[in-house]
Amino acid sequence: MFYREAGEFRTSYAEDSQTFPIRFDRWRYYAVLLVAFAVIPFIINDYWVNAVFLPFLIYAIAAIGLNILTGYCGQVSLGTGGFMAVGAYACYKLMTAFPDVNIFFHVLGGGIVTAAVGVLFGLPSLRIKGFYLAVATLAAQFFLVWLFNRVPWFYNNSASGQISAPERTLAGVPITGPNTEAWATYLFCLVFVTLTAVLARNLTRGSVGRKWMAIRDMDIAAEIIGVNPLRAKLSAFAVSSFFIGISGALFFAVYLGAVEVGEAFGINKSFLVLFMVIIGGLGSIFGSFAGAAFLVLLPVLLKNILVGQLGWATDLAAHLEFVIVGLMILIFLIAEPHGLAQLWRLTKEKLRLWPFPH
């Protein structure tokens, strides 16, 4: 009814290639941004920011990062947890080494270091593909966690072997440390999410993204049209790791505050982000958000219903939660193997003709 292409005439290639070509879509996008930036910060409290918003935003960044590598470039990776750890530890080292520098640049620096490490571990992708590459990235996961556990330099020789974020402020407002406020950490992460999504979208709609997708869909044909597979794959690893590194830095510095590497960035994390990407939809930025929302919100929702509404015991609810989430993932993947993004696309196609589909 209102979601229409009819009557909208695009007269330049710039208009045709924009991210939201349909006017309604565009307004919806602006509305979401407005609410996220101008409304939520005023009504947010500690429970919402810690249980819902921070994990959602941070995992969304990680999912976008992995989606670039796996969804767009077709290189399966199980090293996400390890790369997040690199981002976290790089951010920690930068925070403690340069205490006067803005925290924004620490997080960015964490991303850049992770990009370099990602390229290094991406090198095997030139020789191995598919499942075998996944196993090779598993090596990165275990090696990196081991490294951060064993080499005291990385955790500044602290007795506990943990790293904990010292207080850092941005324009006088604490972003990390014990005295943060909900709206500040939320906004800080939101800025990174917005930047990540815009950058990722720009990269994937231009020639770089086409190179990645060409490698994904048929690497021989990609080579014949002039794609250098080495550079395409490594650039995907670099960009993907950059985003994952940022999410790791935020996860440590802003969300958790203190981190024990094996627990926070273990293999579970790698799988969790991979599931987000698969459930959300491979090769879709929106899908990354949807997948992150699904896997972050569903457990919270279930817990609220089971414990809060039905009054079950917490431990029973916690166990049942796993069963239900697992079951829903299964049902969901059988019903729509291409993820939430595909579901969204189908809805939009239906909406275009609604209410007169003939």
Cβ proximity to other proteins: between 52 and 199 the closer is 199
Cβ proximity to other proteins: between 4 and 210 the closer is 210
Cβ proximity to other proteins: between 81 and 281 the closer is 281
Cβ proximity to other proteins: between 70 and 270 the closer is 70
Shortest spacing between CB 270 and other proteins, in angstroms? 24
Residue whose entry in the numeric block shows the structure tokens 């699904």: 294
Interface contacts to other proteins, rule CB under 8 A: 12-14, 17, 199, 202-203, 206-208, 210-211, 213-214, 216-218, 220-229, 235, 239, 283
Say if residue 55 is preceded by a cis peptide, omega within 30 of 0: no
Shortest spacing between CB 114 and other proteins, in angstroms? 16
Shortest spacing between CB 16 and other proteins, in angstroms? 8
Shortest spacing between CB 237 and other proteins, in angstroms? 12
Question: Which residues are CB-neighbours of 344 under 8 A, at least 6 positions away?
Answer: 286, 290
H helices of 35-129, in order, are: 40-43, 46-48, 54-66, 80-97, 103-122
Give the number of C-alpha atoms closer than 13 A to the C-alpha of residue 41, restricted to the C-beta side. 15
Contact status, residue 277 vs residue 158, Cβ threshold 8 Å: no
Shortest spacing between CB 333 and other proteins, in angstroms? 19
Shortest spacing between CB 106 and other proteins, in angstroms? 21
Shortest spacing between CB 190 and other proteins, in angstroms? 19
Shortest spacing between CB 17 and other proteins, in angstroms? 7
Residue 325 corresponds to which tokens in the numbers above?
A: 């989430």
Contact status, residue 254 vs residue 187, Cβ threshold 8 Å: no
149, exposed or middle or buried, with CB in 10 Å at 0-12, 13-18, 19+?
middle
Cβ proximity to other proteins: between 141 and 241 the closer is 241
Backbone angles phi, psi at 258, to 5 degrees: -140, 145
Shortest spacing between CB 356 and other proteins, in angstroms? 22
Shortest spacing between CB 69 and other proteins, in angstroms? 15
The whole-angstrom separation of Cα 210 and Cα 72 is 9
The whole-angstrom separation of Cα 155 and Cα 269 is 20
Cβ proximity to other proteins: between 171 and 225 the closer is 225
The whole-angstrom separation of Cα 272 and Cα 74 is 18
Backbone angles phi, psi at 259, to 5 degrees: -140, 135
3-state SS assignment for residue 175 = coil
Cβ proximity to other proteins: between 168 and 216 the closer is 216
Question: Which residues are CB-neighbours of 111 under 8 A, at least 6 positions away?
Answer: 87, 242, 243, 245, 246, 249
Cβ proximity to other proteins: between 6 and 220 the closer is 220
Strand 169-170 relative to strand 173-174, pairing: antiparallel
Cβ proximity to other proteins: between 23 and 338 the closer is 338
Query: CA nearest 251: which of 165, 153, 350, 147?
Result: 165
Cβ proximity to other proteins: between 48 and 286 the closer is 286
Contact status, residue 139 vs residue 127, Cβ threshold 8 Å: no
CA 78 to chain centre: 14
